[in-house]
Chains A and B, each alone.
Chain A
Amino acid sequence: MNKNNTLPSRLGKSKRERDNKIFYYSILLLPILQFAVFYIYKNFEMIRMAFVKAEVAVENGIVYVKESFALFANFEKGIQFLTGHSYLLTNSLINFSLVTIPCSFLALIFSFYIYKKYFLSGAFRIVLFIPQIVPALIFSLLYRYLVTDGYIALTGANMGLLDNMDTIFPTILFFAFWHGFGLNVLLYTNAMSAINESIVEAAQLDRVNVLQEFIYITFPMIFSTAKSLWIVAISGIITDQLGIHALVGLSMSGRYQTLGYAIFHISSDLIRTPYDGTYMNMYELSAFGVFLTLILTPTVAIVKKLLDKYGPSVD
């Protein structure tokens, strides 16, 4: 008879299995509860609110809210807002094309330089991480005074680059670009340092040059990391505030706002007046968020599929 199949052994196994289950579910209980409330419930509530309107009455300082079904009225308001402020999407796409993509490309190149341990690579690794360590607010403020007071002192101009409507947007884009790739460099260099050295040595014996090594060995080997970062970066199209908030506060001219900045601005307006914001109330904001999510989620899925299909293979 099989020793493992004896009754005590089976009883022992079932006790072990029961203990495992108790341990497993007791560890997961609170994190799943937190997730259920602050992700699932919150987002379902957001979807529900997208279809609801509210009538508000205040009696003796107490706010009474009566909700009723609004069908697509909130979505219409959100779409009207977007079409009436089409520059928000344009600015966000400009940011993505001129800042996010070039930053990602440069981060790869810089990481490769650091990974290859070329001249001063150790120092560059630390210095490029400075924008992640030093609070963005400091860099924003220093940059702000540099392109206003500093620029006026240097050129004798009447106003700084952030005060001039013709130069404000490029100046903000340049800041985002200049400040934008510290964490990516860290993640790429760590991924590159995990590449098996024997593969690189074999390629070097075949006399590949530095460009070939990057294109045919390094990039394919770290492609999964790059893919993850790119996919997250696409979400930035609607969330990226472009540092505007830290550079000019809440008074940025509408023409140069991004979607991310506008959404934050609308949200901050709802702190005191959730049912009657200047731009949208919280029901309309929910519908606007659902609408943007519905547009962006398939975009992310398509890009992921394309990257999976056409991205470089490790083989």
Chain B
Amino acid sequence: MTKKFKDTSITNIIVKTIILVVLLLFAISYIAILVWGFLTTLKSKASFEFDGNVFGFPSILEPEFYQLKNYKIMLENLDLVVKDSFYNAGKLVSVNIRVPFYMSIYNSIVYALGTAVLSTFVTCIVAYVCSKFKNYVFSSIIYMVNLFVMVTPIVGSSGVLMELLRKFGLYDTLTGIIIPGITFTGMYFLVFYAMLSDLPNSYSEAAEIDGAGRLRIMFSIIIPLVSKTISTVILLKFIATWQDYNTALLFLPSHPTVAYVIWYYTVGGGRSIKPELGSVPIQISSCMILALPIIILFIFARDKIMGNVSIGGIKE
């Protein structure tokens, strides 16, 4: 066995130490700011804003600490009044609708889960047929189109997309926000393509000899083989979609998502509408609630998220 060479030169030690110090600064700052944020959610408005207890510990005697009062106030007040327009007897009518917070949670779950699952599935099966049937003309076209889409930045098309969705009657609907996202293009196409190209044909050939059809081979053999990567990509996409408030702001004006509601009440102008949500500790509490599902997912699926994806292929 080769004995590993350990470089103890001055260059090595200096370089490692400098990187270590910088890394420590970043790591400590990420953790410290989250801890500070969490402690702030346990402080009262008076303590934070008037007594100047910005960096100190919360008082255990205040209900904000022992009753988690800020979280309660926040959950009771995150409903949102939105404007909806529709035609009634040929006339455009606008009405105000109060959307309870649980509906925002529902919208977020449908949007994040729908987009993540469907787009990952579509990307995977398109990558599969393109890697399996490389000699078909569409396979190379799709591969090239994907590269083109990835390196061609197109901006300013959101106005057109709004019009397009309006024409289809899909604007301001959950279906209308999910369908444009179910595309096979993007980085994950390359990830699936590289991995599926590396799979030996012997698996599907053996199944074919046993009489399995192509769909059965795909669903019973190929997809289980790449299930780890599929779940990783779904998780990454879910996380990205769950925290996306921009899309909801543009395309779901009367069906707010959790991320949008929280953005609206923290920086989007909603503070003046609901003064009870205006204090700093409550504002931070509302943000913490946005992180909760993602932190739970991360705790249970950390290894999947961190280890399975690379642009050149997949590490299994």
Contact = CB atoms under 8 A, between A and B. Distances in A.
Interface of A: 19-21, 23-24, 27-28, 30-32, 34-35, 37-39, 41-43, 45-46, 49, 60-62, 106, 109-110, 113, 118-120, 123-146, 149-150, 153-154, 178, 186-187, 190-191, 193-194, 201, 204-205, 207, 209-211, 224-225, 228-229, 231-232, 234-235, 238-239, 245-251, 259-260, 263-264, 266-268, 270-271, 274, 282, 285-286, 288-290, 292-293, 296-297, 300-301, 304
A190 B262 contact: no
Interface of B: 2, 4-5, 7, 9, 11-12, 15-16, 19-20, 22-24, 26-27, 29-31, 33-34, 36-37, 40, 48-49, 52, 54-55, 87, 90-92, 122, 125-126, 128-129, 133, 136, 138, 142, 145, 149-164, 179-180, 182-185, 187, 213-215, 239, 242-243, 245-246, 249-250, 253, 259, 262-263, 266-269, 280, 283-284, 287-288, 290-291, 294-295, 298, 302, 305-307, 309-313, 315
Contacts of B20: 113, 118-120
Nearest to B20: A119
Contacts of B307: 190
Nearest to B153: A235
Interface centre among B37, B150, B151, B183 (most CB of A within 10 A): B151
Given A110-B23, A193-B315, A209-B12, A134 B267 contact: no
B150 to A, nearest CB: 7
Contacts of A296: 153
30 contacts: A24-B129, A27-B126, A42-B161, A49-B159, A60-B90, A61-B92, A62-B90, A110-B23, A113-B16, A119-B20, A123-B27, A127-B26, A127-B30, A130-B30, A132-B239, A133-B239, A137-B263, A138-B287, A142-B287, A186-B306, A204-B5, A207-B5, A209-B12, A225-B312, A229-B311, A232-B150, A247-B267, A249-B269, A289-B157, A300-B151
A132 to B, nearest CB: 7
Nearest to A142: B37
A288 B156 contact: yes
Interface of B is mostly: helix
Given A28-B126, A42-B161, 5 more contacts: A137-B243, A138-B288, A153-B55, A201-B4, A224-B312
B54 A153 contact: yes
B267 A31 contact: no
Nearest to A202: B2
Contacts of A123: 27
Contact of A142 (B22, B128, B284): B284
A76 B267 CA distance: 34
A221 B103 CA distance: 49
B250 A190 contact: no
A38 B48 CA distance: 48
B7 to A, nearest CB: 6
A70 B136 CA distance: 42
Nearest to A23: B214
Contact of B291 (A31, A134, A143, A274): A134
- Which of A21, A38, A260 has the most chain B CB within a 10 Å cutoff? A38
Nearest to B126: A31
Contacts of B152: 293, 297, 300
Given A23-B214, A178-B26, A246-B267, A205 B5 contact: yes
Contact of B160 (A42, A109, A142): A42
A271 B249 CA distance: 9
B162 to A, nearest CB: 7
B294 A133 contact: yes
Contacts of B27: 123-124, 127-128
